[in-house]
């Protein structure tokens, strides 16, 4: 680590010696780049004297004043040329206290942009008049509502950037205006998939503090910030939080937008004889948990080894935990983790990921049952180094009679034929054990994992011979609720990460509908009804997400999906 602080200056002759001496007192090894914008009070000469007094100080003298953003860019270029990392920016007027550098450095390895925020933990500004404070706060709220990003302070100049992030930036395209520069850098970080974090600081307005930003820049920023705006539906959804829990919005989006830290760097290597950790997510599954675990115990593997089967029981109030403990007593591979409260499937998956030790993690719901070779088929594609995640072929146990039976089977048939061409993982998945967690607030955990896997450069693989039996809804009410919940979850994922699974693309779905359709009168009628029902579910799910602040990451269970009609396993 070779950290550096970039300090843009304009007539800071009284302040710059105080600031640099304090930095060097606290962090003697810290590098400093002073970028002076042709100060008339001798700031540049004073900075040169300080460079002779202390090691690690460089001074850039700019002959034209092109804006604080342009000055910082010159500092970025010099820092990258000298292979410095991380790269800090702070004002030279003593409004930014160097004592906060320690907080930045403590988490510098985990983030690419860290913002010293005046507003994340209440209002933390000392010395401003109320009018100035109100305008600043409202301006940042306005930018937040236009861009729809979980940031409280877009215009703070006290920041840390990673060299990896800055190497991806086209410096020639960066606006020179101060406020717009800061907003632009936040936009770039999110759009390029870098990790962003805010930490609270106290901003002090001193007798020396005066804005280096041209007042006209405020109007330029107001007009140009719209080039970073989110889609209109996202803006509308964001506004619903005004009267609701805005902190939850920030937590949800920060988690989805910031990729989770990895357990290890992703390496594209073949897994020819992998160890496998299986996580079984359960909530009141006394009717099926024994079948599920028995099927996993009976897996037949010619390669690889199942080293653990971890059942995460989330707030179960029936006999689920009792049944699992019976398995746990007689099979050391099986263990139970009990969550006292039900916090959603993704939260349960994260509890599993904390303890998973295999090369490959498998996620299964406790209301499904595998075939004897399901795990073998599921892990086989990992022999290809580019594969990071695989998905099974779900086959519902529902009767095909009646409209709902037809609808359940038809949807999974379409999923199957589409996944053969464009892999889509659902119902039961396997992935390389590289993630510390998945987004907690997602209602579509498999799709969220897909997004994470693709983000780190791996591919998906569909395993048509890896069969898992599941149970679809048996009545119209449960079917519609399930489809609405899935739509809402996918809208949440797409709005935050821009990721959409193949089965959500209507034109693609229609192509496969026509390709596989049986043209008997009854089949055509049922298909038309299914299309209308799916359209209704997608419409309601969209409205729920954008206009009603719905995100069903803890969803109501469809009870009709819990009665799998399979050969009886041993029960307790």
221 lies in the same domain as 312: no
Pick the closest to residue 572 from 323, 305, 373, 216 (CA basis). 323
Q: What is the pLDDT of residues 244-303, one digit of tens each?
A: 666 667 777 777 667 677 888 889 999 999 999 999 999 999 999 999 999 999 999 998
Total domains present in the chain: 2
Task: Give the CATH number for residue 352.
Answer: 3.90.550.10
> In this structure, how many other beta carbons lie within 10 angstroms of the beta carbon of residue 502?
17
Share of the chain above pLDDT 90, in %: 59
225 lies in the same domain as 279: no
148 lies in the same domain as 219: yes
| Highest mean pLDDT pick, 224-228, 306-310, 552-556 | 306-310
* pLDDT, mean over the chain: 88
Full-model pTM? 0.75
61 lies in the same domain as 182: yes
Q: What is the CA radius of gyration of the chain?
A: 28
Reply yes or no on whether the pLDDT at 488 is more than 70.
Answer: yes
160 lies in the same domain as 294: no
Reply yes or no on whether the pLDDT at 227 is more than 80.
Answer: yes
Q: Give the 3-state secondary structure percentages of the chain, helix then strand then coil, rounded to 5.
A: 45, 15, 35
Given 229, 248, 266, which residue is the final one in a domain?
229
189 lies in the same domain as 316: no
What is the rounded CA–CA span in Å between residue 135 and residue 143? 12
Q: What residues does 390 pair with on adjacent strands?
A: 430, 461
> In this structure, how many other beta carbons lie within 10 angstroms of the beta carbon of residue 515?
10
103 in a structural domain: yes
Q: What is the pLDDT of residues 400-411, one digit of tens each?
A: 999 999 999 999
436 lies in the same domain as 322: yes
Q: Mark 219-257 as b/e (b = at least 16 C-beta within 10 Å).
A: eebeebbeebebeeebeebbeebeeeeeeebbebbbbbb
80 lies in the same domain as 139: yes
φ and ψ at residue 518, rounded to 5 degrees? -95, 130
Q: Residue 164, exposed/middle/buried by CB under 10 A (0-12, 13-18, 19+)?
A: exposed
236 in a structural domain: no
Distance between first and last Cα of the chain: 58
Provide the 3-class DSSP secondary structure of residue 212. Answer: coil
CB 90 within 8 A of CB 157: yes
219 lies in the same domain as 290: no
Query: For position 207, what pLDDT does the model report?
Result: 54
129 in a structural domain: yes
568 in a structural domain: no
Q: What is the pLDDT of residues 408-440, one digit of tens each?
A: 999 999 999 999 998 988 889 999 999 999 988
209 lies in the same domain as 280: no
Share of the chain above pLDDT 70, in %: 91
Which DSSP letter does residue 512 get? H
Provide the 3-class DSSP secondary structure of residue 200. Answer: strand
CB 236 within 8 A of CB 546: yes
Query: For position 124, what pLDDT does the model report?
Result: 76
Pick the closest to residue 503 from 431, 441, 428, 417 (CA basis). 417
234 in a structural domain: no
Given 229, 264, 295, which residue is the final one in a domain?
229
16 in a structural domain: yes
Q: What is the pLDDT of residues 149-170, one digit of tens each?
A: 878 899 999 999 999 999 999 9
Reply yes or no on whether the pLDDT at 89 is more than 90.
Answer: yes
Residue 250's region, left for phi above 0, alpha for psi from -120 to 50, else beta, is alpha
Note the helical H segments in 85-203. Answer: 101-106, 130-147, 163-166, 178-191
Torsion of CA 475, 479, 481, 486, to 10 degrees: 160
Provide the 3-class DSSP secondary structure of residue 24. Answer: helix
400 in a structural domain: yes
Query: For position 379, what pLDDT does the model report?
Result: 96
Give the mean model confidence (pLDDT) for residues 503-510: 82
* Those residues with Cβ within 8 angstroms of residue 148's Cβ, 6 or more apart along the chain or in another chain: 230, 234, 235, 237, 238, 253, 495
407 lies in the same domain as 555: yes
Pick the closest to residue 179 from 209, 114, 135, 238 (CA basis). 135
φ and ψ at residue 430, rounded to 5 degrees? -130, 145
* Those residues with Cβ within 8 angstroms of residue 316's Cβ, 6 or more apart along the chain or in another chain: 282, 283, 284, 285, 338
Which DSSP letter does residue 435 get? B
339 in a structural domain: yes
* Those residues with Cβ within 8 angstroms of residue 441's Cβ, 6 or more apart along the chain or in another chain: 251, 252, 255, 256, 344, 346, 492, 551, 553
Which has the higher per-residue pLDDT, 374 or 128? Answer: 374
At 562, the pLDDT band (50, 70, 90 cuts) reads: low
At 556, the pLDDT band (50, 70, 90 cuts) reads: low
Domain housing 212: 4-229
- Which residues of 201-274 form beta strands (DSSP E)? 203-204
195 lies in the same domain as 300: no
What is the rounded CA–CA span in Å between residue 249 and residue 239? 11
Given 192, 213, 229, which residue is the final one in a domain?
229
Pick the closest to residue 388 from 312, 332, 460, 318 (CA basis). 460
At 351, the pLDDT band (50, 70, 90 cuts) reads: very high
> In this structure, how many other beta carbons lie within 10 angstroms of the beta carbon of residue 541?
22
């Amino acid at each position: 680590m070779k950290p550096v602080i970039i300090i843009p200056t304009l007539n800071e002759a009284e302040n710059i010696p105080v600031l640099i001496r304090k930095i060097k007192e606290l962090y003697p090894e810290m590098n400093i780049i002073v970028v002076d914008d042709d100060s008339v009070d001798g700031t540049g000469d004073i900075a040169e004297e300080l460079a002779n007094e202390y090691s690690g100080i460089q001074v850039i003298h700019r002959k034209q004043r092109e804006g604080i953003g342009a000055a910082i860019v010159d500092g970025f270029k010099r820092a990258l040329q000298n292979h410095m990392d991380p790269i800090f920016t702070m004002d030279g007027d003593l409004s930014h206290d160097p004592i906060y550098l320690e907080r930045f450095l403590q988490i510098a390895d985990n983030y690419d942009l860290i913002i010293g925020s005046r507003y994340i933990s209440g209002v933390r500004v000392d010395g401003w008049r109320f009018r100035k404070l109100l305008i600043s706060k409202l301006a940042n709220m306005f930018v937040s509502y236009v861009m729809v990003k979980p940031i409280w302070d877009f215009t703070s100049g006290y920041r840390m950037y990673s060299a990896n992030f800055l190497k991806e930036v086209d410096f020639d395209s960066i606006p020179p205006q101060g406020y717009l520069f800061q907003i632009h850098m936040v936009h770039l970080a999110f759009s390029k998939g870098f990790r962003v974090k805010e930490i609270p600081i106290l901003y002090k307005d001193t007798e020396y503090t005066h804005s280096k930003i041209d007042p006209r820049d405020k109007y330029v920023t107001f007009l140009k910030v719209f080039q970073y705006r989110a889609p209109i539906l996202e803006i509308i959804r964001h506004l619903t939080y005004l009267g609701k829990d805005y902190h939850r919005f920030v937590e949800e989006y920060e988690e989805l937008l910031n990729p989770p830290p990895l357990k290890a760097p992703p390496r594209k290597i073949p897994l020819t004889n992998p160890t496998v950790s299986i996580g079984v997510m359960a909530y009141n599954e006394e009717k099926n948990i024994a079948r599920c675990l028995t099927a996993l115990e009976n897996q037949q593997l010619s390669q690889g080894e199942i080293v653990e089967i971890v059942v995460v029981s989330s707030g179960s109030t029936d006999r689920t935990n009792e049944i699992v403990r019976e398995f746990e007593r007689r099979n050391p591979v099986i263990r139970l983790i009990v969550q006292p409260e039900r916090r959603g499937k993704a939260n349960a998956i994260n509890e599993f990921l904390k303890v998973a030790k295999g090369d490959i993690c498998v996620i299964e719901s406790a209301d499904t049952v595998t075939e004897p070779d399901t795990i073998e088929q599921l892990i086989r594609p990992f022999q290809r180094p580019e594969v990071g995640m695989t998905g099974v072929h779900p086959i519902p146990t529902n009767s095909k009679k009646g409209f709902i039976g037809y609808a359940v089977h038809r949807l999974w048939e379409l999923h199957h034929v589409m996944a053969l061409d464009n892999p889509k993982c659902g119902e039961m998945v396997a992935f390389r054990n590289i993630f510390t967690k998945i987004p907690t607030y997602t209602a579509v955990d498999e799709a969220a994992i897909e997004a994470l896997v693709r983000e780190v450069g791996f591919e998906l693989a569909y395993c048509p011979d890896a069969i898992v039996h599941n149970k679809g809804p048996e009545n119209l009410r449960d079917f519609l609720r399930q489809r609405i919940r899935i739509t809402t979850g996918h809208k949440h994922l797409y709005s935050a990460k821009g990721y959409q699974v193949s089965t959500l693309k209507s034109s693609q779905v229609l192509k496969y509908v026509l390709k596989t359709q049986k043209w008997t009168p009854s089949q055509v009628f049922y298909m038309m009804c299914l299309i209308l029902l799916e359209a209704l579910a997608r419409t309601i799910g969209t409205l729920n997400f954008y206009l009603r602040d719905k995100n069903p990451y803890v969803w109501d269970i469809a009870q009709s999906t819990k009665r799998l009609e399979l050969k009886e396993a041993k029960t307790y």
